Amino acid sequence: MMRQVKTKLGILEGIPHETYTEFRGVPYAQPPVGKLRWHRPLPLEPWEGVREATRFADRSMQEIHEDPFYDKEFYDEAVYMTPVSEDSLYLNIWTPAKSAGEKLPVAFWIHGGAFMGGFGHEKEFDGAAYCRRGVILVTVNYRLGPWGFLAHPALSAEAAAEGGPAVSGNYGILDQIAALRWVRENIGAFGGDGENITIFGQSAGGMSVQTLLTSPLTRGMIAHAVLQSCVGLSYDHDLRSAEELGVQFARNAGADSLEKLRALTPEQVFAAAGPIIMAGFPKMELPYTPIRDGWVLTGGYDQAMNEGGTHPIPTIVGSTLNDIATQREAVERGERGKVYAGSLAWAEAEKRHGRPVWLYDFRRQLPGDEAGAFHSSELWYMFGTLDRCWRPLTDGDRALSERMLDYWTNFMKTGDPNGEGLPRWEAFRSPEDGMVFDL
């Protein structure tokens, strides 16, 4: 396997396994610290010698809240829980290539977490199963919460003074775009094809995928996309309202200049953002999400979806049976929540615009408790990491995981999930064409 690769910026040394190589903590932009806090990501400078890529990077800044359910599910092993830091713009790569130039398809994963938490090396994420199927996996960290989406009139004015659009916020999305650009330019050294990148994500990661498919800044950069448990949840602000929240943030922090804002400690940032975040909870609104700024996002999600303004590429879209904001009692009555409705609306719109789209419905009721097919439950299956899960999973679960991985990686290779030995998954024409994933 390739222990070392030569990127355009320097040599990286990874962790060789029997059939693939893992590169952890690969930098894709300058650390957004000091004067670069609340600034668009800037390209890296080249480095001398060999840079080790053998440890996962710090998680992006996020408050640590106890959540008994999800902590037990995904966040209970210290080896994955690296420190939090503003210096977090790194990605991870798993490649089965033996040499550069193999032009393998690339899967670019964006994690969820309500744009306030999560990271690219959570224990349920791993690239071994993708590598076994001839696909390179990339996972990425990006700025979160107020660190990633704070807008302010002074920040917009600063951006204009530097020669860019007079906008601010969307730093987390710009991080994702910078990482995508880095992958396109460098993945050939890892044996990948920069022209065959599939972006995929779940929850806020899926909302990020929807954002990238709507943004004019990513035209021509993406071959295929998978949107998991996200359509119907997307919530975006216009720039003016986002800047108003930024003014409130600065007032809460007692900071009347950019210099003072950038001098705030992490604790002061969280304290200033806290009341703004809590004010949105009763209305199920997140204050720190993508912004319609006329540059990264030129319009709303629904408008782009309904008018064909998203990128014209093949997509997979779907949700879980007991997804977010879906009560078990409602499902038992045959009712489905807004995430299912959003997935269906996406599929209907793509069909109307003449684009290939495949709809799925993940219904496996996971054993071990009464949570059912909860929001995020499919992650164990489509990453093939069931052995890391605490639940008493069965051979049937492993077979389901293998089938999902085959569909996902076939799609990443060709833009069609179907392949030899798999039940036919029809492209969407009506809800009956959706693929049900269950035992």
Give the pLDDT confidence of 61-86 residue by residue, as tens digits.
Answer: 998 888 999 999 999 999 999 999 99
Q: What is the predicted pLDDT for the residue at 329? A: 60
Q: Determine the 3-state secondary structure of 202 from DSSP.
A: strand
Q: Which has the closest alpha carbon to 257: 383, 174, 158?
A: 158
Q: Tell me how far apart the alpha carbons of residues 273 and 114 are, in angstroms, rounded to a whole number.
A: 15
Q: What is residue 335's predicted lDDT score, i.e. its pLDDT?
A: 65
The segments of the chain whose pLDDT lies below 50 read none
Taking alpha carbons only, the member of 143, 87, 81, 91 closest to residue 115 is 143
User: Could you tell me the two tokens for 33?
Assistant: 């610290």
318's enclosing H/E stretch is strand 315-320
Whether the CB-CB separation of 312 and 231 falls below 8 Å is answered with no
What whole-number distance in Å separates Cα of residue 121 and Cα of residue 82?
9
**d(C-alpha 35, C-alpha 263), whole Å:** 9
Distance CA 116, CA 204 (A): 9
Given this model, what pLDDT does residue 330 score?
63
pLDDT given for residue 392 in this prediction: 98
The sign of the torsion formed by the CA atoms of 56, 62, 65, 68 equals negative
Residue 313 has a pLDDT of 98
Give the pLDDT confidence score for residue 338 in this predicted structure. 83
pLDDT in tens, 333-376: 666 778 899 999 999 999 999 999 999 999 999 999 999 999 99
Residues in the chain: 439
* pLDDT, position 1: 81
Angle at 171 (CA atoms; ends 28, 169), nearest 5 degrees: 170
* Phi and psi angles of residue 109, each rounded to the nearest 5 degrees, phi first: -95, 130
